[in-house]
Structure 1
């Protein structure tokens, strides 16, 4: 009887062994990577907060660009940031902090939303604004005329300080080619961006015109414009979890309105504290949260009845906020306090402040969670 020879796998060659070890280590590191929050600081860059430790672990050094609006790609690998001083959209590798792409946008880019493979960036075009299809590197030396100091809260409430300026626009950037494929003319001082439940329509709030404009999300073709209360200065906008209504904050009237998602008629008007901007539903959809920036408060309302539930003291000029991915905490970016305020998402009690974030503007998390910029 012939005895079978046992065969053992050949040992890996040194190069293959090194690659295998690196892949295994990379997988282990990826699995162990903590959830993070990303905070734009207009002076320092983009702060990265480890959400397990609730501490600022690093800052991506793009502060000279004047970063404001931000949004993550669907896989979380790239953070897209609108830069006031350089007039562009920068794509930052979240693993390394390196800027890997820049797309010329135009004057005063501010708000960013990522949707179905495209980035939607609001801006106020000047003579250097891009034609449709333009891309490329920014003119880093171009001065930014910008708006009046919106952080100081000055100016006449409800006045359109850009009435004689060109209307704002929304640049639609293809994230495969990194080119602006459409530039959509909107109203004056476009602020928040939201999408319909089926994803086919884009809604934007126009602060200077007291309107909400609706467009085809893919082409930017206009559908309708809805006039809201005069002098209200609409800013934040969010679709309800069930898709039945939109809620819109009116900063100068200190209210938010509830709009029927079908015909955009006002169903209800609710009083808030002073200067509401960011607005979002909680992860379970039972509560509605509003950042009343001028009263230094985060307000909580019942999401169905709109009855007032609680007021939570926060810092100065708090525009945007986000829940943590597990829904247990709220992170509020407070620009004039140069910090992120951390709150218990159920009791609304303050837990800590994370500083060293001068002129904090916006905040998003990975994994994605609900907030005033991104709706999960």
Structure 2
């Protein structure tokens, strides 16, 4: 009689190892794919640019939502997009381009940053105030895409009555379960978000208050408020690579300020061209780049002395930009030109324009690279 052999069940550890190998292979395949840039287009969705070919390859269809701020999770598999028309954060599977989760935020969600497994999203509760979900349902009023431009012929920001508006909020989202764990009351018209080098502090610029608010990143507990020049309307903020300084752009005064990262004292004020917004250090920290939106210029400064080096012409309403992962090119999202302008990051010469991106707002890349939204 033939002996019947029954194979033993694989041990749990072997199954776990097999699963880990599959996940690792998936992550490796994702990392080996062509580097990509993701661009929010307020009228079309999220454009995907192949950085090897420098071409727009597809558009994720969230256009009716009015996408603005965006950020990626650590492995680039999820793209987080703030949508002004639906008051939410869309979580997009970058492999399929499908929205796999929507997180209710509040009125006018705008800026998104990801740090240590949490997403931070600025929004403006409006007249009803309160935490996410507390306001009555209904379509929000669209926030103007540039207050200074909207007040053409007048003083930038003069038609804003920020003091009478409820303050902005910052929703903190646990990316394990996509729950809003808390909402932090900020100043008026909160714009940029940055973190301290150790990740313990979160700093936000408050355009309507002319301040920078400093919070504990995990708890949202306030630490201090830094007052800047009246009427400056701070927008972009970036930490220097050595962790010693923060640079903040003052849109209405056309200046940038350098702030000591430990004492929070203003160390230096530097003139820029009109309407500076996005700001970032180059990949090696030797240069500082500023998008002077109302002068249609990207300005280049020394990353240590902040002396002016060059002015580079770009398109209209260029707020945000990112370097490519290899640091060789600079990609600038220009909303009123409906395009991304691609520049050589060393010579600053134009490389090409990538169109079909109506009201381009922000741009990030995978693999992750430095820019006015993300920093590493």
* TM-score, with length taken from structure 1: 0.89
Q: Could you tell me whether the CA contact under 8 Å between 1:318 and 1:332 is conserved in 2?
A: yes
1:157 corresponds to: 156
Q: Distance in 1 between matches of 2:106 and 2:130?
A: 6
Assess, with a 3 A threshold, how the Cα gap between structure 1 residues 309 and 97 changes in structure 2: closer, same or farther.
Answer: same
2:305 corresponds to: 305
Deviations 1:210-249 (CA, angstroms, capped at 9, x unpaired) = 0000000001010100110000000000000000000000
1:335 corresponds to: 335
Instruction: Measure how far apart 1:162 and its partner are.
Output: 2.6
Aligned positions of 1:28-47 closer than 5 A:
30=30, 32-47=32-47
Deviations 1:230-283 (CA, angstroms, capped at 9, x unpaired) = 000000000000000000000000000000001111100000000000000000
Structure 2's unaligned 5+ residue stretches are 1-21
Q: Work out whether 1:49 is the aligned partner of 2:49.
A: yes
Q: Distance in 1 between matches of 2:277 and 2:43?
A: 21
Instruction: Measure how far apart 1:163 and its partner are.
Output: 2.1
C-alpha RMSD of the superposition = 2.2
Q: Distance in 1 between matches of 2:357 and 2:266?
A: 38
Instruction: Measure how far apart 1:144 and its partner are.
Output: 1.7
Aligned positions of 1:48-67 closer than 5 A:
48-67=48-67
Alignment partner of 2:150: what SS? coil
Alignment partner of 2:139: what SS? coil
Assess, with a 3 A threshold, how the Cα gap between structure 1 residues 231 and 339 changes in structure 2: closer, same or farther.
Answer: same
Instruction: Measure how far apart 1:131 and its partner are.
Output: 3.1
Instruction: Measure how far apart 1:154 and its partner are.
Output: 2.7
What count of residue pairs does the alignment treat as equivalent? 352
Structure 1's unaligned 5+ residue stretches are 1-21
1:147 corresponds to: 143
Q: Distance in 1 between matches of 2:31 and 2:146?
A: 41
2:17 corresponds to: none
Deviations 1:10-30 (CA, angstroms, capped at 9, x unpaired) = xxxxxxxxxxxx999978954
Q: Distance in 2 between matches of 1:192 and 1:31?
A: 29
* TM-score, with length taken from structure 2: 0.89
Instruction: Measure how far apart 1:109 and its partner are.
Output: 0.3
Q: Work out whether 1:113 is the aligned partner of 2:126.
A: no
Q: Work out whether 1:90 is the aligned partner of 2:86.
A: no
Assess, with a 3 A threshold, how the Cα gap between structure 1 residues 315 and 175 changes in structure 2: closer, same or farther.
Answer: same
